[in-house]
Amino acid sequence: MMSQFHSRTVALARTSLASARADLDDAVQSIPDSEGQTVVASSDIMGLLLRVVAARRHLESVERIPDRRRASADTLSARAPCPDR
């Protein structure tokens, strides 16, 4: 089970990725469709592309972070019994 903080962090990262993708899609759609011609991406589009990549990487890293409370509970239950008992 995800903590409320972790689930909010994941939701925010997903929103950030969706926003970055939408901005990139809008920019790419504004490029004239010149079939058969080479199109060079502007620095603005490259910046948007890098924003999408960064947002995706951030989301992936946030989704991999275990819930610290659950991890500590799992660690406690996995410990060996005390030899003095």
pLDDT at 85 over 50: no
Q: Rounded CA gap, 14 and 27, in Å?
A: 20
Q: Rounded CA gap, 42 and 29, in Å?
A: 13
Residue 14 domain-assigned (yes or no): yes
How far CA 38 is from CA of 31, 32, 34, 41, in Å, comes to 12, 11, 8, 10
Which residues form the domain of 20? Answer: 8-24+50-61
Residue 76 domain-assigned (yes or no): no
Task: Quote the percentage of the chain above a pLDDT of 70.
Answer: 74
pLDDT at 78 over 90: no
Q: Which pLDDT does position 77 carry in this prediction?
A: 46
Residue 19 domain-assigned (yes or no): yes
Taking each helix axis from N to C terminus, what angle separates 4-29 and 43-64, rounded to the nearest 10 degrees? Answer: 160
